[in-house]
Amino acid sequence: MQEYVLTVPPDCEGKRLDIFLSESAEGLSRSAAQQLCEAGQVLCGGQPGAKNLRLKAGGEVRFFLPDPVKLDAFPENIPLEIVYEDEYLVVVNKPQGMVVHPAPGNPDHTLVNALLYHCRGRLSSINGVIRPGIVHRIDKDTSGLLVVAKDDRTHEGLTEQFSCHSIDRIYYAVVHGVPREEEGTVDRPIGRNPNDRKKMCVTEKNARRAVTHYTVVERFRTFSLVRLQLETGRTHQIRVHMASLGHPVAGDPVYGPARGVKGLHGQCLHAAVLGFIHPVSGKHLLFETPLPGYFSDFLARLRKGETYGSV
């Protein structure tokens, strides 16, 4: 991790933090600056700075960037389930087990590699050569819908909708246990786990507000099927929030019980609905995909009365 320190000059008085960073830090786009702010990697006066924070002249802005890792994303002929496509964007139904973009330990066979082949390299450049077109992500072992931008104008339009929480995102999950309430809202801030930087947790320290609405759809002996609607989109949000309620997502190897669930290879979590305003046409688009095989098979076993233990 590399640390950088900037002092706000007089002519930047009142400027937004994300704009100041993108103009002052070489090679840092506004979108990347916003992501750093949301990850708690930008400090103003020693406190995490929101992307829309108005700066004061003479103030100190300290930010952290990961050490550079040389990776080259290249096209791979990997089959994709394309739900929608036009000249500006693509909506993909990502299978469980596929990583979204290359990273150390996962240099290839990712969604980005497949998209570079499918779109013949025509993807937005805002997130650089490793994450071209990627506006938002879902975890490797979460299946479901993702929208990908083919040009920077579309990318910026979609990013703005994610930033103001106007995107429709509905997930389905099987969770351990049976919640008492039929529906509820989890409004708990999420930040990095101080004991394990690879994990997130509910915390007040260096955290961002996170809101998840849930509804119990079906109850079983030791599990429940829930419908989840995201109001915000923090890293591992659903997995952390449901675990904080005592109902971790079935099959979750990070936030669930140490003993896994037979037949599940990763969390039973599916991004089923995605809706947004098309940044170019202005039309509202809404997409829905059915539960994948691994998910529906597990439900079928639960409906037959099979039990797997609970937390």
When pLDDT is averaged across residues 66-82 and rounded to a whole number, the result is: 77
**pLDDT confidence of residue 308:** 65
Amino acid at 90: V
Output the pTM of the full model: 0.76
pLDDT digits (tens, 9 = 90+) for 249-267: 999 999 999 888 988 989 9
Domains of the chain are: 2-65 (3.10.290.10), 82-163 (3.30.2350.10), 168-303 (3.30.2350.10)
Q: Is 139 a catalytic residue?
A: yes
**Structure confidence at residue 213 (pLDDT):** 98
* Per-residue pLDDT, 262: 83
CA dist., res. 201 & res. 189, Å (int) = 8
Among 19-33, 34-48, 50-64, which is the least confidently predicted range? 19-33
Considering the candidates 18, 67, 72, 139, report the single residue annotated as catalytic: 139
| Whole-angstrom distance, CA of residue 224 vs CA of residue 248 | 10
> Model confidence over 5-27: pLDDT tens digits?
999 999 999 999 999 998 888 66
The mean of the pLDDT values for the chain is: 91
Percent of the chain with pLDDT over 90: 71
Per-residue pLDDT band for 310 (boundaries 50, 70, 90) equals very low
CA atoms within 13 A on the CB side of 17: 26
pLDDT of the residue at 311: 43
Average pLDDT for 148-161? 93
